[in-house]
Amino acid sequence: MAAAPSLRRVLGLGPALAMIGVFMLLPIGIIAVYSFLEADPYGGVEPRFSAEAYVQFFFERDLDDSLVFNPAYLAIFGRSILLAAAAMLLSLLIGFPVAYYMATQPEARRNLLVFLVTIPFWTNLLIRTFCWILILRDRGLVNNLLLAAGIIDQPLTLLYTNGAILLGLVYTYIPFMILPIYASLEKLDLRLVEAAHDLYADRRQVLRRVILPLALPGIVAGSILVFIPSLGAFIAPDLLGGGKKLMIGSLIQMQFSSSRNWPFGAAAALFLMAAVLVAMTYYALGPARRAEPEAGR
């Protein structure tokens, strides 16, 4: 009889555990195995153990088969992390005021504003990103307006740059920043803001001492929801970067398609997963680190 609750608990968790095992752990295991096999020139892998995929990240083979350090792939990882971090910060700078404005509106207008924020999800991401090509190209909307206004004499190079990729990332993922912050600020009691002003706090102090601490859970959640997808994005780098400014997602997609180097693509995916796990671990341990100094007081 004592084992009955445990059995019911296992049976209740069974479907969730099966989903995690089949759709997450099993694919990760396959990728890990593929990363230690030899690449088949025609696609796929050869069933022979090899660590060449990991060596290729840091070295290239010279004519005499000696290893020479090659920072090209590390540069791609560095560019991906910098662009993802920049997209996260820019989304925060834009998304926080928008979320605060939404949270301070009457309830009927809030629902309308949330509806407007979610409208981009109704359109395919590929189509939305391709529209930015029409806007940013040499004879696109932006350059045509600047030329017509006489501000410039020659079209600006806006497309196929890091700035275009950053713009695409922010445009794609900024709703994931706005909505979590709005969910936190929606619970804000405006009487706290009024009380802070009554205690002679200026706007900066109210923002720093009252609003930001209450919005912090939404800011952290939004930052994670923007940073992680941006890190592995490949549609924006491919279309807006023109294949000239690779990111990790583009590199992985290329290895499984045109390059036909599945082991290297699998190894790149594992490196990306490791970077995501580091970020998530840092976030998970954050409350514990903050609680330690408070416990010692």
Greater confidence (95 vs 289) lies with 95
Query: Is the predicted pLDDT of residue 87 greater than 90, yes or no?
Result: yes
Instruction: Clarify whether residues 115 and 199 are in a common domain.
Output: yes
Residue 205 located in a structural domain: yes
Q: Residue 199: what pLDDT?
A: 81
257 & 131 share domain:
no
Higher pLDDT: 8 or 50? It is 50
Total domain count for the chain? 2
Residue 296's pLDDT band (cuts 50, 70, 90)? low
Query: Quick check: 168 and 229 in contact, CB under 8 A?
Result: no
* Model confidence, pTM: 0.85
Q: Let me know whether 260 and 179 are in one domain.
A: no
In a domain, 45, yes or no: yes
Q: How confident is the model at residue 287 (pLDDT cuts 50, 70, 90)?
A: low
Residues 154 and 262 in one domain: no
Shared-domain flag, residues 223 and 130: yes
Could you report the per-residue pLDDT of 147-181, keeping only the tens digit for each?
A: 998 888 888 888 999 999 999 999 999 999 999 99
E strand segments, the chain: 37-39, 45-49, 59-61, 67-69
pLDDT at position 292? 56
* Whether residue 1 has pLDDT greater than 50: no
Q: How confident is the model at residue 276 (pLDDT cuts 50, 70, 90)?
A: confident
**CA separation (Å) from 139 to 89, 147, 159, 237, 244?**
30, 10, 11, 20, 20
Position 35 scores a pLDDT of 93
| 171 and 196 together in one domain | yes
pLDDT at 295 over 60: no
Q: Say whether both 111 and 135 belong to one domain.
A: yes
Domain of residue 115 covers 80-242
Tell me the C-alpha distance between 74 and 51, whole Å: 18
Band of residue 289 on the pLDDT scale cut at 50, 70, 90: low
The mean pLDDT value for 119-139 works out to: 89
**Average of per-residue pLDDT across 26-53:** 90
Range 254-258 average pLDDT: 88
Q: What is the pLDDT of residue 188?
A: 80
β-pairing, 37-39 vs 45-49, is antiparallel
The C-alpha angle 80, 226, 159, rounded to 5 degrees, equals: 55
The mean per-residue pLDDT over the stretch 223-248 comes to 88
- Residue 259 pLDDT more than 90? no
Q: What is the pLDDT of residue 63?
A: 77
Mean pLDDT of the chain: 86
